[in-house]
Structure 1
């Protein structure tokens, strides 16, 4: 059996941090005279009681983590934080059911951005800040996990970044110091985003809330209309820039700070990311202009904003792109799966996996043409180990299979084709809005049956933790020995 004491200890520490975070929206409600501050204080008390109890009862008797404990800790931590993060949502003025509260919380902590809340413009301020904070915490959490945990667990080819992050990079000597430095950069980027939004016309409250969800590529907004509430080109272009900033590997920011500012432009992931975004945005803008949906300038703005939002998994909307026509909808659906760079706050399949598959495909084609030749696939000018290539191929297969199973199950629950397919895609890719009139950019997930919400919540967790981190625990052999 697996010794779960170290797992419980770490989860206890995380719950204690979550409880401290709940005091921020409590203070916001208290200052603004909203009675929901009591809900946050009570939720914080329950959360810290459980967290401290777990710490005190498990702090002795174990020495270190092993791989299986790391798998359990990672999945258990995200699920537990989502559960306790749902407490303020369930008992606030919104009076959400536990299903809706957990869905909203899971959507927040996984930076998905799907919502069941209608009437955000009049929602309690503490709740709005709490939703943004969940995404902000989830964003830094996934960056640290992608740098410190997933490479060690060898999940979906992430072992490719183990040496790059700590040995070859030589930014800072220890993983804890790297994580702390990245957290500092993450905070600075958030402050920069908040100031920029405020200067461009948002209120201070909206600027802070959207700064947290923009850099986390989360997508929660304080407005039902999302970014279409501000029909201001400056705000839309600023948000596009911030979403891209959150999609870049945060280790590259460390390199830039340490005297290598060109590292970001030399990185293959970043070049592919920018190339895909620019191409897709240009095609969308040309299509919108040709169809007469917008004038050229507005077509460029809305095209770029929504392409960036969907591909990075942020989920903001400056317009209902579901009304742009079949071509635009299909393009957005494809972009949902791509995602950003490994080591960023984004989700989806990730750019580096497409690069590896492309490199392997090129080698296969060359071998067909020259059967006696010796060809080696490269990533960032380094040979791709067979183990990494196999992990990436396995990830693609499991990702496709998981998406298909989710879509089929949603269809069995009575959802129409567009809602079922796009709902599965947006959950496993952690994008936010789906397609169609029900869960599209202008809709919410409120009307879905409870069973669908629980299934989508599982899909969000599955996608956020790179599939295998969760699925490995369903193998009976995992728990033996």
Structure 2
């Protein structure tokens, strides 16, 4: 039987904590010099009161020690908590000065917490500071949340091969609470440190403190929300040349395994930052893809210097590949090859245990290892070959888990594409919107949802479908899909 008491307890505490966080953007509105923006504080006040009262009430009614939680409880807790947080996060966005209906607000909140970065907001340059800060805070909270999940929950659920990283945290085969507090605090401290460092660097290179804190929150979380309609390109046109390189560095940091940062700091295992096979593979991919885009850019703009081409290439490759979704230019004008190229790399993602999204680098490594072993067995039927990851042998359950993930990933992508096409979207918009949702990237392709557009004109049904895609992509699909099985509820 499912144990609902700890589920309502944890969910209630987190919703109440979300309400407390709403007081920060409320204060930002109250301190705004613009009287129209100051009036927006009430939206966050209402959202905070609703979240604290309802969340606190659910927690109080379910209060008590949590001894253990079963795997089935973990599946339900994970999905229900994210849906509840999105539902309450949307309240101030729906009531505030952005003038969004609740479906738009729900889409924006889902995009924020899943660190997708797709937006329906038009006129960011003149938006209330509280709303801008809240969008950034949602991405930051979603980023640290997924890091903790990657080490505490998903290895235990054995989702998509994540059991490979069980030893990076602790044995969670049947428990989700033991040791979680200390480990989560340590990961959060590292996350805060990198966020603060990013803020100081952006501020030092010319951003205002408000813009710097917003972009620091959404850079380290690889989220991609900006305070400007033109995204980071709005700041680059002002002559602040190093900003794109600063953001690129911190997008890369956000895409690395935070567990390895923790091991380096607490155990002095700094070599792992250079010897871990996942990090090595990720670095090689970024290098190769950057060089490829440099060739594209120099072919399109023959007057560009190599350094400028490198900046354009590494920023946009890192932004799309890691699922951040910042844009410094409209790469749709670089030609059909560039469009196809960026569409393909949006599915890659970063490392496991990072804030990044997508398929994750380690799964590509496992897939290549499986293909290599299969090819060698065909060539040498009597040979004995063992696939390895990080010098450890890969078991059959890892292969099955990873290959099942690939199948489900693209099955959901194809299904969502068909749903969007059925709702009236053109082919390019439907396919790229579905891809950017399940990969949690942000911008799609084309004039409507591309880097120069947004999702505001899409029908409400499409926004809800994309919201579901974003949630499934962020929670690695099986966490959500298992709840649709009748056997799950029968026990």
TM-score range, shorter chain: over 0.9
Per-residue deviation, 1:291: 2.7
Provide the residue aligned with 1:268 in structure 2: 277
Per-residue deviation, 1:179: 1.3
Provide the residue aligned with 1:108 in structure 2: 112
Q: CA 1:6–1:420 in structure 2 vs 1: closer, same or farther (change >3 Å)?
A: same
**Contact 1:288/1:294 (8 A) holds in 2:** no
**How far apart in 2 are the matches of 1:27 and 1:97?**
23
RMSD over aligned Cα, in angstroms?
1.2
**How far apart in 2 are the matches of 1:63 and 1:274?**
42
Provide the residue aligned with 1:334 in structure 2: 344
TM-score (norm 1): 0.97
Provide the residue aligned with 1:170 in structure 2: none
**How far apart in 1 are the matches of 2:184 and 2:59?**
22
**How far apart in 2 are the matches of 1:2 and 1:165?**
26
Aligned residue for 1:86, secondary structure, equals: helix
Provide the residue aligned with 1:80 in structure 2: 84
**How far apart in 2 are the matches of 1:290 and 1:480?**
60
**Contact 1:5/1:58 (8 A) holds in 2:** yes
Are 1:68 and 2:72 counterparts?
yes
Provide the residue aligned with 1:345 in structure 2: 355
Per-residue deviation, 1:294: 5.5
Q: Which residue, out of 450, 460, 471, partners 1:461?
A: 471
Per-residue deviation, 1:233: 2.5
Provide the residue aligned with 1:290 in structure 2: 299
The list of structure 1 runs, each at least 4 consecutive aligned residues, that deviate by more than 6 angstroms after superposition, is none
Larger deviation: 183-192 or 36-45? Answer: 36-45
Are 1:313 and 2:323 counterparts?
yes
Q: Which runs of 5+ in 2 are unaligned?
A: 172-177
Q: Which residue, out of 93, 97, 102, partners 1:98?
A: 102
1:325-375: CA deviations, max 9, x gaps? 111111111111000000000000000000000001000011011100000
Are 1:233 and 2:251 counterparts?
no
Are 1:242 and 2:250 counterparts?
yes
Q: CA 1:294–1:284 in structure 2 vs 1: closer, same or farther (change >3 Å)?
A: farther
1:241-273: CA deviations, max 9, x gaps? 000000000011112213121211111111111
**How far apart in 2 are the matches of 1:182 and 1:64?**
22
Provide the residue aligned with 2:47 in structure 1: 43
Q: Which runs of 5+ in 1 are unaligned?
A: 168-172
Provide the residue aligned with 2:19 in structure 1: 19
Are 1:133 and 2:137 counterparts?
yes
**How far apart in 2 are the matches of 1:345 and 1:475?**
29
**Contact 1:376/1:383 (8 A) holds in 2:** yes
Are 1:192 and 2:197 counterparts?
yes
**How far apart in 2 are the matches of 1:120 and 1:225?**
9
**Contact 1:293/1:299 (8 A) holds in 2:** no
1:280-311: CA deviations, max 9, x gaps? 11110122112326602222111110100000
Per-residue deviation, 1:76: 0.5
Q: Which residue, out of 193, 199, 205, partners 2:210?
A: 205
1:393-429: CA deviations, max 9, x gaps? 1000000100000000000001001000000000000
**Contact 1:406/1:424 (8 A) holds in 2:** yes
**How far apart in 2 are the matches of 1:476 and 1:396?**
23
**How far apart in 1 are the matches of 2:486 and 2:80?**
17
TM-score (norm 2): 0.95
**How far apart in 1 are the matches of 2:277 and 2:346?**
21
**Contact 1:9/1:59 (8 A) holds in 2:** yes
Provide the residue aligned with 2:335 in structure 1: 325
Q: CA 1:321–1:5 in structure 2 vs 1: closer, same or farther (change >3 Å)?
A: same
Per-residue deviation, 1:86: 0.2
**How far apart in 2 are the matches of 1:255 and 1:62?**
28
The aligned length equals 476
Provide the residue aligned with 2:440 in structure 1: 430
**How far apart in 2 are the matches of 1:372 and 1:145?**
42
Q: Which residue, out of 411, 434, 437, partners 1:401?
A: 411
Aligned residue for 1:414, secondary structure, equals: coil
**Contact 2:43/2:92 (8 A) holds in 1:** yes
Q: Which residue, out of 129, 139, 158, partners 2:162?
A: 158
Larger deviation: 228-237 or 448-457? Answer: 228-237
Per-residue deviation, 1:4: 1.5
**How far apart in 1 are the matches of 2:80 and 2:235?**
39
Per-residue deviation, 1:455: 0.1
Q: Which residue, out of 447, 470, 479, partners 2:480?
A: 470
**Contact 1:233/1:301 (8 A) holds in 2:** no
